[in-house]
Structure 1
Amino acid sequence: MTALEFSYQVGNFSKFLKPFALRLTRDGDDANDLVQDTLVKAYTNREKYMDGTNLKAWLFTIMKNTFITQYQRMVRRNTFIDTTENLHFINSSESVQINAAESTFMREDINLALSHTEEMYRVPFLLYFEGFKYHEIADELGLPIGTVKNRIHIARKSLKQHLQMYA
């Protein structure tokens, strides 16, 4: 296969690389970088491609291996090794456990703070928090828009006071 034919074929298959890169990286900029790295490696290693084999699969393999190599480098860079006798891995992502305990405590504290807020302030605040606009809340509650804004402001101040531990 000539260099021109190879370039043409790679150009045809390059449109399939971006969705695969997005699935691997889950980030648009990183996906673009991965596609670019893949194409650079494909062009620089053109002589390693054997005619008659699946070029699309070859490109996908280059992309997958490039992603794995970059990921391993990132993990190694973010892991600190303790050089004492025990050789503990510090900040290793393998030992991190994520749970919802902290967010559960925060949610409970927020609900408790809301229960201590007077209803006339709590209702407009909750409607605003749910995404309603000021004028929609005013129409729903039959209040002037200035009153709605004032009550939401007072509810925020009350919540801020009750939730000082999170400041």
Structure 2
Amino acid sequence: MTALEFSYHLDKLSTSLRPFAMRLTKDSEAANDLLQETVLKAYTNRDKFTEGTNLKAWLYTIMKNTFITNYQRMVRRNTFIDSTDNLHYINSSGNITENMAYSSFAMRDIKEAIGKLDENYRLPFLMHFRGFKYYEIAEKLDIPIGTVKNRIHIARKDLKAMLKNYGGKL
């Protein structure tokens, strides 16, 4: 395949590569950059392409590998390496002081909410919370496993409603 033919095929396939680049990057500008870098790498390495094989698959592979390489490079660039003797300060973003008052209020509210659950829901929920498997709870309470799963689900939903003031911070 001549360079002109390769360029023609590359140009035709580049439009189908754009949606893949958008799925990878989730950003229009980054997708354009990735597409441009992919086409450039494909053109400069056209001698490595085996004629008769799937050019589109080859281009997708180049794009995916380029994206992964760029992502890894970005992660390495943003990783902080502390070479001092105080290794416990690695990636610390400042001093945080808590007096644990928030957690004691939260625990009190959680216990109170669990206490308000109907016994049919509270018992399976607490058993599951303590580490029992669904089938163990079913055997212990002599109820079907589907009922156990349903009661635990309802208990969670009810607790979430009762503890909505915490806004998902628990």
TM-score, length basis structure 1: 0.51
Q: Aligned residue for 2:53? A: 53
Q: Tell me, in whole angstroms, the C-alpha distance in 1 between the residues paired with 2:7 and 2:52.
A: 16
Q: CA RMSD in A?
A: 2.1
Q: Which amino acid aligns with 1:42?
A: A
* 1:96-127: CA deviation from partner (whole Å, max 9, x where unpaired): xxxxxxxxxxxxxxxxxxxxxxxxxxxxxxxx
The answer to whether the 8 A contact 1:22-1:31 is kept is yes
User: How many Å apart are 1:49 and its aligned residue?
Assistant: 0.4
The answer to whether the 8 A contact 1:81-1:88 is kept is no
* 1:12-50: CA deviation from partner (whole Å, max 9, x where unpaired): 110111100000000000000000000000111110101
Q: Aligned residue for 2:2? A: 2
* 1:31-81: CA deviation from partner (whole Å, max 9, x where unpaired): 000000000001111101010110000000010011001000100010011
2:40 maps to 1:33: no
Give percent identity, aligned residues only: 72
Q: Tell me, in whole angstroms, the C-alpha distance in 2 between the residues paired with 1:8 and 1:18.
A: 17
The answer to whether the 8 A contact 1:79-1:89 is kept is no
Q: Which runs of 5+ in 1 are unaligned?
A: 93-167
Distance 1:54 1:85, change over 3 A: farther
Q: Aligned residue for 1:123? A: none
Q: Which amino acid aligns with 2:19?
A: P
Distance 1:53 1:91, change over 3 A: farther
Aligned length: 92
1:105-124 mapped onto 2 (5 Å cutoff): none
Q: Aligned residue for 1:70? A: 70
Q: Tell me, in whole angstroms, the C-alpha distance in 2 between the residues paired with 1:38 and 1:89.
A: 40
Q: Which runs of 5+ in 2 are unaligned?
A: 93-170
The answer to whether the 8 A contact 1:79-1:90 is kept is no
1:1-167 mapped onto 2 (5 Å cutoff): 1-84=1-84, 90-91=90-91
Distance 1:31 1:49, change over 3 A: same
Distance 1:85 1:54, change over 3 A: farther
Distance 1:82 1:16, change over 3 A: same
